[in-house]
């Protein structure tokens, strides 16, 4: 008998669309209402497995990765949608920073204003930068950086999107780092228009930066670009995160002089996901989406050493991703 998880469609907003039941003579003919995803409350109930067997995972946090010229990496960035910084910290999410020891760590969906941050949210040894949404408990991004940047820009210069705390840009001597939490098209695509307004404005922001210095952009981009980037492409073409509009927006970004660093390195790698709904044990079965990216200026291809998906690291419905680069002076 075929399991439910094989026939269900997992939606990007965490809901699950169940298969249509057989029509009964007394039925109204309506499809069942999609169930809401059960969010992890951080109680440690054991709903998530300790480890996922996935070849893209690396729990040693050590790497001998080199760039195309054979030079070993010397610069590390981590990106993670933490699905609420307070809950994430209760699950010891900051331990990842200690284990990875990145030069820069970017987190998304903090859901917390800076004045309400929990104690310890600004780790020692790092400069901390937060951009929260005007609406408490919504969106928000943050960056931890060992090296103080030359400048910091909050937002992309658009009031509507910036009020939601969606992007921070840090300028270093030879490059920019941008983190973003891209708008979700929403259940039944109710906010697809907002997403379509974001894409060209964000692309212009990146293009303007790239004209000055190379760009490293990371975050939860809320799109699975290719069919290989989600477990059930056939059933999700009309769902948030996999519509032709969202995928075309990402294609436009790549056409403008940027690369998807993971697919550049691993063009044929399957079952490489960064997000799993909490419903129906999806993470243990690796029924997920690749929504989290490191996008680089084309001119940084020669500096790229590796992009690692830390799929065994728990603490959110997303896992962290790690970028290794061979960079010059920061």
| Catalytic position from the list 13, 40, 210, 220 | 220
Q: Is 181 a catalytic residue?
A: yes
71 DSSP assignment: P
Q: How many CB atoms sit inside 10 A of residue 100's CB?
A: 19
| Catalytic position from the list 126, 129, 176, 181 | 181
Q: Is 318 a catalytic residue?
A: yes
Q: What is the C-alpha R_g of the chain? A: 19
Q: Which residue numbers belong to the known binding site for Mg(2+)?
A: 81, 109, 220, 222, 317-318
Are 64 and 284 contacting, i.e. CB atoms less than 8 angstroms apart?
no
Residue 176, H or E segment: strand 176-181
Measured in residues, the chain has a length of 330
Q: Where are the alpha helices (DSSP H) in the chain?
A: 4-7, 85-90, 95-100, 159-162, 192-210, 244-255, 261-265
| Catalytic position from the list 161, 205, 225, 318 | 318
Backbone torsion region of residue 189, taken as left when φ is above 0, otherwise alpha when ψ lies between -120 and 50, otherwise beta = left
Active site positions, annotated: 181, 220, 318
């Amino acid at each position: 008998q075929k399991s439910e998880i094989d026939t269900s469609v997992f939606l990007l907003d965490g809901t699950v669309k169940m298969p249509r039941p057989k029509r009964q003579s007394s039925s109204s003919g309506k499809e069942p209402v999609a169930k809401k995803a059960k969010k992890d409350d951080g109680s440690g109930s054991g709903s998530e497995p300790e480890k996922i067997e996935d070849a893209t995972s690396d729990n040693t946090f050590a790497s001998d990765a080199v760039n195309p010229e054979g030079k070993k990496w010397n610069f590390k960035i981590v990106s993670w949608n933490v699905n609420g910084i307070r809950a994430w910290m209760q699950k010891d999410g900051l331990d990842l920073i200690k284990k990875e020891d990145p030069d820069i760590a970017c987190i998304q969906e903090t859901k917390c204003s800076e004045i309400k941050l929990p104690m310890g949210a600004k780790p020692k040894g790092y400069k901390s930068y937060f951009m929260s949404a005007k609406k408490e408990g919504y969106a928000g991004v943050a960056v931890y950086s060992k090296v103080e940047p030359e400048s910091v820009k909050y937002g992309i210069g658009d009031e509507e999107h910036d009020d939601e705390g969606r992007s921070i840009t840090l300028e270093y001597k030879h490059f920019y780092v941008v983190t973003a939490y891209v708008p979700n098209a929403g259940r039944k695509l109710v906010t697809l228009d907002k997403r379509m307004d974001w894409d060209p404005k964000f692309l212009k922001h990146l293009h303007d930066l790239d004209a000055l210095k190379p760009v490293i952009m990371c975050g939860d981009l809320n799109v699975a670009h290719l069919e290989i980037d989600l477990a059930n492409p056939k059933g999700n073409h009309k769902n948030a995160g996999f519509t032709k509009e969202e995928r075309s927006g990402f294609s436009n970004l790549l056409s403008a002089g940027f690369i998807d660093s993971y697919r550049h390195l691993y063009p044929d790698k399957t079952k490489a996901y960064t997000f799993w709904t909490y419903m129906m044990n999806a993470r243990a079965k690796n029924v997920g989406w690749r929504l989290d990216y490191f996008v680089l200026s084309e001119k940084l291809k020669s500096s790229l050493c590796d992009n690692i998906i830390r799929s065994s690291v728990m603490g959110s419905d997303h896992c962290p991703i790690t970028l290794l680069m061979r960079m010059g002076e920061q």
